[in-house]
A and B are shown apart, each in its own frame.
Chain A
Amino acid sequence: MTLFPQTPAFSSSSILRRDQWLIRLRWFAIIGLLMGVALLQGISLGPPISIKWISITGALMILLNTSYVLYASGKRQFGMTSLVILLNLQMVVDLLLLTFLVYLTGGVESPLIFFYVFHIILASIIFQGGFSYYYSILVIFLFSALILFEQTNLVNHICFFQEIDLATDTRFVVGIWCIFVTTMVVSAYLAQDVTDRHRRVREKLEAANKKLQEINDTKTTFFRFASHEMKAPVATIQSTLMVIQDILGDDVDTRARDMLQRAIGRTSNIIQMLKDLADLTYGNLQEKQAFTKVDLNVLLTELLADTLPNAERKKLILTYNAPKRACEFDGDPSALRKVFSNLVSNAIRYTPEGGTIEVSLKYMSTFYEISVSDTGAGIPQSEQINIFKEFYRTPTAKKEVSEGTGLGLSIALRMVELHGGTIELTSIEGKGSCFTVQLPIGVGL
C-alpha cells in the first residue's frame, strides 16, 4: 500500500510541476506587460523610446517562455540537477529582464521595483533551503548596480515621468493604481499558494498517520483475539493432561510420568508465550484508561511476598529496602506489577542457589527509582545491548534455563516507556546484574 501517493519532498516530478506553474505565471506577467504597454500608449505616458523597448522585452519574454514550454515537453527524462539549473536560469533571466524594465521605467522612480518582491517569494516556494535568501541578495545586487550605474552616468537615467505634476496627473495616478492593484493581488495569490501547499502536505501527513494508527489498531485487536483463540485450546489440553496425571497418580512408570510432566511443561510455555505476545501489544490501544494512583511501596511489598516462596525454594535471600513512606505514582498497576515481577523472577531464575537478590525503592523527588540486583551469572558486555530485544535470550540463559520466551524484558521496557520511564542495566560477568527502573513523577503516557 502506498501511503504517500505524492511525495511532498524535493523530487524531479514535483520540480517539473513547479516549472510548469512558473511558466503559467510568466504568461500572466507577459499579458500584464502588454496591457501596460497598451495603457501607456493610450494615455501617452512615458518616452517613446521606453515604450518601444518595453514592447521588445515583452516579445522576448513570449519567445523565451515558448521555448521553456517546448523544452519541458520535448524532453521527458530530466535529472533533478538539470531541472533545478533550468529553473534557476529562468528565474535569473526573469530578474535581469525585470531590472531592464525598471531601468526603462525610470530606475529609482520606477514603481515596478515592487515586482522584485514576487520573485523572492516565488524563489522560496519553488526551491527549498536558503534559495530565497540568495535571490534577495541577487535582487539587491541588481538594483544597487542599476542605481550606481545611473549615479555614475555609466547608463543614462531615463526620466519616465517627464514634466508632469505627479500628484495631480491622472495618467500617473492610473498607472500607479494599476501597479498597486497588481502588487496586492499577486501578493495575496502567492501567500495563499504557500499556505495552501503547506495545508495540503499537512493534511496528507495527517491522513497517512491516521491510516497507520488504524492499521496498528486492527493489528493489535487481531493479535489479541488470535492469541486468545490459540490460548483456549492449549489451556484445555493442559487441563486435560493435568487431570490425566492426577488420575494416573503413582501407578504409572516413571518414563510415562516424566513424558506427561514435560508435555504439561510444554503447554505452559506455549501459554506463557501467547500471554507475552499479547502483553507486547500493551499501550497500542487506549490503555491509559487503566492509569490510576498506585502505591509502589505496597505494590512491591505484595509482589515480593508472592515471589518469596520461589526464592526460598532456590535457597535465595530476597531482601527489600523499603522507603518509610507511601510512594504514590500515576500508572497502570497491572502493567507495573508485570514489570517488577519480570525483573524479580528473572533474578530468581538466573541466580544460583545460595545467592542474594536485593530489591530497593527510592523516592528521588522528581522520580522513583526501583532497582533489582542479584548475585547471578551476570550478562557479558557484548550481550547487554541485545537483552531488551524481542525473543532474545543470552546463550547462557538458554543453556541454564530451558523455559523463557525472551519477551519478558521487551515487555517490561515497553511498559516502563509508556509510563515515561527508563530501564538501565549494569552487570559484571560472574558477579551479578542490576536492573534500575526510573519512573518520572507526573509524566506517564
Chain B
Amino acid sequence: MAKKILLIDDDFDLVEAMRITLEAAGFEVIDAQDGESGLNKIRSESPDLVILDVMMSSMDEGFHVAYKIRQEVAIKDTPIVMLTAVGNQTGFQFDPSKDADFLPVDAFLEKPVNPKNLVDVVRQNIKI
C-alpha cells in the first residue's frame, strides 16, 4: 500500500506542486490548509509523514502544530518535515542536528522546494 503523506500548508499552489512530485514518486497525498485541520487529519487519517509549513496564519503556527503532535500519545511518532522560507529573513536560523531538542521535527526543507530533494527527504524520514 502506498505510504500516505499529509501536506499542511496554506499555499495552495505549493501544495499542488508538491502533490504532483510526491504522487509521481508513488506516495498518496492528502492536505490541510491550516494547523487545526491538519491536526484533525493526522488524528483521523494517520499519515506516515507530515510536511508542515512554519508560517501560516502566524509566524510560528507550524512550531505549535509540531509541539501538539509530539504531545499526543496516539500521533506523537509521526515523522515531521518542516518547510521554511524563514532562513535569515526573520533572524531565525535552523539546524535540526543542534535544535532538535527544542524543535521536535525530523528534518527541514527550505523553500523553494526542489522536487528531487523533496522526494529524498521524504524517503529518508518515512518509517518503512
Which A residues form the contact surface with B (CB < 8 A)? 224, 227-228, 231-240, 242-243, 246-247, 267, 271, 274-275, 278-279, 285, 287, 290, 334
Contacts and interface: CB of A to CB of B under 8 A. Distances in A.
Nearest to B21: A243
18 contacts: A228-B85, A231-B85, A235-B14, A235-B113, A236-B11, A236-B13, A237-B112, A239-B112, A242-B112, A243-B20, A246-B115, A246-B116, A267-B112, A271-B112, A274-B89, A275-B87, A279-B88, A334-B93
Contacts of B111: 231-232, 235-236, 239
Interface string B101-128: 0000000000111111000000000000
Nearest to B15: A236
A232 B89 CA distance: 11
B90 A224 contact: yes
B51 to A, nearest CB: 12
Interface of B: 11, 13-14, 16-18, 20-21, 24, 55, 85-91, 93, 111-116
A209 B34 CA distance: 43
A232 B11 contact: yes
A235 B24 contact: no
Contacts of A278: 88-89
Given A236-B11, A236-B13, A274-B89, 9 more contacts: A228-B90, A231-B89, A233-B11, A242-B112, A242-B114, A243-B17, A243-B115, A275-B88, A285-B91
B112 A275 contact: no
Contacts of A334: 88, 93
A232 B85 contact: yes
B102 to A, nearest CB: 16
Given A243-B115, A247-B24, A271-B112, A227 B89 contact: yes
A279 B93 CA distance: 13
A287 B55 CA distance: 22
Contacts of A236: 11, 13-14, 17, 111-112
Contacts of A240: 13-14, 16-17
Contacts of B14: 235-236, 239-240
Contacts of B13: 236-237, 240
A92 B18 CA distance: 87
> Which residue among A234, A243, A278 has the maximum number of chain B CB atoms within 10 Å of its CB?
A243
Contacts of A267: 112
> Which residue among B16, B85, B114 has the maximum number of chain A CB atoms within 10 Å of its CB?
B85
Nearest to B86: A228
A239 B17 contact: yes
B112 A246 contact: no
A233 B86 CA distance: 13
